[in-house]
Amino acid sequence: MLKNYLKIAFKVFLRRKFYTFISLFGIALTLIVLVVAVSLWDHVFGPHPPETRPDRVLTVYFIRATGPAGNNTSGPAGYAFLDRYVRTLTSPERISVHGIFLPTVSYRNGAKIKSWVKNVDAEFWRIFQFSFLEGGPFTAEDDRNGNRVAVINETTRRRFFGGAGAVGQVIELDRQSYRVVGVVSDTPMLRLTTFADAWTPINSRKSQQFKREFENGMFFSTILAKSAADLPKIREEFAGMLTRVEFPDPKQFNRIEGQPKTLLEAASDELTGGYLRTVVMIAIVLFMCLPTINLININVSRIRERASEIGLRKAFGASSWTLVGQFVIENVLLTLIGGLLAFAGSQLILRMINASGWVPYAQLTLNPRIFLYGLALAVFFGLFSGVYPAWKMSRLHPVEALRGGEQ
Amino acid sequence: MIKHLLKLVWNRKRGNLLVTLEIFVCFLVLFATVVMIGYYADNYRRPLGYEYEDVWSISTSISTVVDLDRDNGELMRKYAAAFHAALKNMPEIESVAVIRQAPYSFSWTGRTIEYNGKKLSTTSNEASDELAQVLSLKLVRGRWFSPADDGLAWDPAVINQKLAAELFGSEDPLGKDISEKGDAARTGSSTPARRGMRVVGVISDFRKDGELSAPETYLFSRTTPGRSKGLYFLIKIRPGTPRTFEETVLRRLHAINPSWDFEVDPLTRVMQTKLGYQIAPMAAAVIVVSFLMVMVALGLIGVVWQSVSRRTREIGLRRACGAPAGSIHLQVLGELLVICSVGLGLGTLLVIQLPLLDLVGFLTTEMYIYSLITSLALIYGLTLGCGIYPSRLATRIQPVDALRWE
């Protein structure tokens, strides 16, 4: 039965090449755009190494300090505040304090190399699971003693050393020499929490001035909860802690607002005031509207020309549901073919984006999860655009249908 | 005639509804794109206010500046002055200026100023006396900063035309005193409240973020090497100096302080990079939308074609009764136009709500109307274009084909 349907479907596709082409074009185009969008989203927010446990990790990104005169400042917190008040929270499993990434320029054999350096503590390596290509992370002792050691990423290794075997070599960053202890694979630049070209111990900074910064600084703090269920407890403890902060200069600032957030929450609050998901969903629905309507339109007009076939089948006793089933299967088959084309197309486009350097360090790939989303979308598409026209046609009166459809 | 067309369309309202809906959505998508392109094109044609040919920027790493600034302002002042003097003495360099935020850099500062009880938030920057020369700033009135400003009891300020118009209206801005609100504690530094400012000059504009950025109010205050928090040097080099001069500059600066980290970049290159980042997502959107339009166009051709071939009897009958090809054309295209107009009418009604509700403040009314007209014209063109081929097919229908049915 199914085999028969498929056979008919293929014959129909080939008979009306123009319509088949339009349908495939629309389906493939829509899916390509969606798949590329989903993989960009996944690139920024999905669970990828080193951020493999997004459900248990919260980060204090920006805080807002207010003074008695109503003056305020917001931005990354200062080291002193994070060290004294966030590191001492008791409910989390681990807590790391790490700097925002800052640019530095090095010269090697006359060539200019621009790298982003991030100062981190030793806990950073235990919260985030970097995949080390060689060597390993630096230790708490390295950080305490301010040892000039660095973990670099694959790109930096290639730029400075050409290839493997960087561990033990010396790299110059910010006009200081660092000994490379580990090499990790690249992390995308849009991952604000973990990205850097080189990670160095906080205490290896040239000046230790940053230790006095309180409400206004250049540090984030990342908290690893014991389990995802612990997150509310941690947020609560954090909020409680904020009320007990003793300010170094209460005349300047005497109140801090802020909370540990997931990257998605932080991005959502910063960009759209908390509605990122909603905004994205509305955009996607609007965007999908057009191809869906287009597909329904084509299907409606296409299916009419098969009125005589429908009439014949009805005359021989086929029920409306059987006919709907047949047309829906045909349509789903078409969308699946479109889906296949889309995957080939999006593979190509993702590769182009990777090669263009438009998204720095992007290694956008079509992972199985995205493939499944896309497939589900394709089937939904097929059902959605196929059911209405099929149902309309299946209710034709056989006599009229045999004559070639109503006018 | 039109009444008749409306009737024809109404009689097949169920089938036409979907096409109307499609045109409606298509219009919304196209309009959003046209507005976006129009907005940036409008910005692009505005004057930048400066020239950056042969200008290079020299910056120190942020960590160096921040550490030094908090550590020992004295040290920073000393070095900045030494760097400035060293650069000035190089024969390849025509002039050197200090600026807090160089063109195309990613940082931003704002201030709230007050004049005659009128408060205004404006983008601000600090620059030294030589900036007018380095960037060939276009002064409209008054003057740029000069060493003569050193001993004054007030701080000189140079504003752009937009700020002058918004703050002073038709008054002459030169010599007017402006004050600043709620600034003292913002940076967290312990600088005392600023002195009063007096406007000494008006520049045509200074669009720091480049060609695509929106016009904004701008205020320059004066700085001298080492006084400003940021540390950007802008150097104007003699035309024809090779890129390798970069290394000479670095050697010279590192001879003064080997532990500082500098980045030297021609502004033209910085500009290209930034423009690339800005244009890429737009280009992607435009490509996607044009494909969507092609898809809709193909779909429409299909639908019209199908409807023509289904109405063989009706059209054939008209032909048999002596209707010329022209009137068949008119009927097919006319019906399409009616359907299209209904969709576009709905779309226009919706789109007009946005400025009425004041949701698109960043667009000028003019731009909005232009975008609306362009989108309407494009959709009408698209729809008609899609109708032409099927309607020609319709004129070829032979009366015999139609009469066979009767």
pLDDT, tens digit (0-9, with 9 covering 90-100), for A306-318: 777 888 888 888 8
Domain-embedded: residue A270: no
Interface ipTM above 0.90: no
Both A245 and A295 in one domain: the answer is no
Residue B61 has what pLDDT? 62
pLDDT tens-digit readout, A80-133:
999 999 999 999 999 999 998 888 888 787 788 888 999 999 999 999 999 999
Q: Is the minimum CB–CB distance between B285 and chain A shorter than 8 Å?
A: no
Which residues have a Cβ under 8 Å from the Cβ of A405 and sit 6 or more positions away? A304, A307, A308, A396, B310
Domain spans in chain B, listed from the N-terminal domain onward: 2-45+278-403, 62-260
Closest CA to B34 of B385, B285, B263, B307: B285
In chain B, the residue whose alpha carbon lies closest to the alpha carbon of A67 is: B185
Structure tokens given for A92: 């989390």
Question: Residue B188's pLDDT is what?
Answer: 40
> Which residues, including other chains, have CB under 8 Å from residue B122's CB and lie 6 or more apart?
B110, B111, B112, B113, B159, B163, B216, B217, B218, B219
Q: Which of A222, A396, A218, A240 is nearest to A313 (CA)?
A: A396
Percent of chain A scoring above 70 in pLDDT: 97
Helical packing angle, A276-304 and A368-394, nearest 10°? 40
Domain annotation covers residue A55: no
Residue range A200-253, pLDDT digits in tens: 999 988 777 788 888 778 899 999 999 999 999 999 999 999 999 988 888 878
Same domain, A23 and A103: no
Is some CB atom of chain B closer than 8 A to the CB atom of A348? Answer: no
- A44 and A66, same structural domain? no
CB contact under 8 A, B295 and A174: no
Determine contact: A355 vs chain B, CB below 8 A. Answer: no
Tokens 């107009």, residue located:
B341
Q: Print the domain residue range for A382.
A: 2-48+275-403
CA nearest A173 in B: which residue? B261
Question: Which three-class secondary structure state does DSSP give residue B394?
Answer: helix
Do both A240 and A355 map to the same domain?
no
b/e for A264-294, b at 16 or more Cβ within 10 A? ebbbbbeeeeeebeeeeeeeeeebbbbbbbb
- Nearest-angstrom CA–CA distance, B96 and B85: 9
Give the end of a domain, one of A207, A229, A260.
Answer: A260
Of B318, B209, B350, which Cα lies nearest the Cα of B270? B209
At A284 the pLDDT is: 77
| Minimum CA–CA partner of B277 in chain A | A358
Q: Does one domain contain both A97 and A234?
A: yes
Domains in chain A: how many in total? Answer: 2
Least confident of A124-128, A178-182, A367-371, B23-27: A367-371
* Chain B positions in Cβ-Cβ contact with residue A293 (cut-off 8 Å): 18, 21-22, 25
Which one of B188, B302, B310 has the shortest CB-CB distance to A216? B188
Respond yes or no on whether the N-terminal peptide bond of residue A92 is cis (omega within 30° of 0): no
* A268: in domain: no
What pLDDT is recorded for position B228?
61
Q: Å from A228 to nearest chain B CA?
A: 35
Q: What pLDDT does A81 receive?
A: 92
What's the order of all strands across the beta sheet hosting A72-76?
A72-76, A62-66, A255-257
* Residue B135 confidence (pLDDT): 94
Greatest alpha-carbon span in chain A: 92
The Cα A150–Cα B231 span in angstroms is 27
Does residue A172 sit within a domain?
A: yes
Helix (H) or strand (E) holding A96: strand A94-99
Residues A307 and A333 in one domain: yes
**Same domain assignment for residues A14 and A118:** no
Q: Residue window 176-215, chain A: list those with CB within 8 Å of chain B.
A: 176, 205-207, 209-210, 212-213, 215
Q: What is the pLDDT of residue B70?
A: 58
Give CA–CA dist A152/A168, Å, rounded.
12
Instruction: Write out the H or E segment, with its range, that includes residue B118.
Output: strand B118-127
Q: Give me the residues of B, 55-74, that contact A with CB < 8 A.
A: 61-64, 66-68, 70-71
The answer to whether residue A13 is domain-embedded is: yes
Nearest to A175 among B22, B261, B306 (CB): B261
Taking an 8 Å cut-off on Cβ atoms, the answer to whether B259 and A69 are in contact is: no
In this structure, the answer to whether residues A253 and A298 fall within a common structural domain is no
Encode pLDDT of A4-46 as tens digits. Answer: 888 888 888 888 788 888 888 888 888 888 888 888 888 888 8
Q: Residue A254 above 70 pLDDT?
A: yes
Question: Of A231, A260, A289, which residue constitutes the final position of a domain?
Answer: A260
Q: Is the pLDDT of residue A285 over 50?
A: yes
* Residue ranges of A 101-160 with Cβ closer than 8 A to chain B: 102-105, 107, 110, 112, 114, 117
Q: Same domain for A100 and A238?
A: yes
pLDDT at B360 (0 to 100): 67
pLDDT at B187: 43
- Does A201 share its domain with A255? yes
Closest CA to A231 of A265, A197, A208: A265
pLDDT in tens, chain B (406 residues): 678 778 877 877 777 888 898 899 899 889 988 988 988 888 898 889 999 999 999 887 655 665 555 556 677 778 888 888 899 999 999 999 988 888 887 777 778 888 888 888 888 888 999 999 999 999 999 999 999 888 888 889 999 999 999 999 888 999 888 887 644 434 444 344 457 889 999 999 999 888 888 888 999 999 887 676 556 889 999 998 888 888 889 889 888 888 777 888 889 888 888 888 788 878 888 888 888 888 888 888 888 888 887 787 788 888 888 888 888 888 888 888 989 999 999 999 998 888 777 766 677 888 889 999 999 999 999 999 999 888 888 888 777 777 766 5
Contacts of B260 in chain A (CB under 8 A): 175
**B310/A407 touch (CB, cutoff 8 Å), yes or no:** yes
Asked, for residue A269, whether it belongs to a domain, the answer is no
- In this prediction the pTM is 0.77
Are residues A291 and A247 both part of a single domain?
no
- The verdict on B187 touching A (C-beta cutoff 8 Å) is yes
pLDDT score recorded for residue A407: 43
Q: State the pLDDT at residue B194.
A: 56
Res A404 pLDDT > 60: no
Are A332 and A366 part of one and the same domain?
yes
Specify the amino acid at residue A177. S
Give residue-wise pLDDT tens across range B209-256.
888 888 889 999 998 876 765 568 899 999 988 888 888 898 898 888
Write out chain B residues lying below 8 Å of A19, CB-based. 302
Residue whose pair of structure tokens reads 């070829």 in the numeric block: B396
Residue B108: HSE in the Cβ half-sphere, 13 Å Cα cutoff: 12
**A53 is a domain residue:** no
A304 touches chain B (CB under 8 A): yes
Three-state DSSP class for A138?
Answer: coil
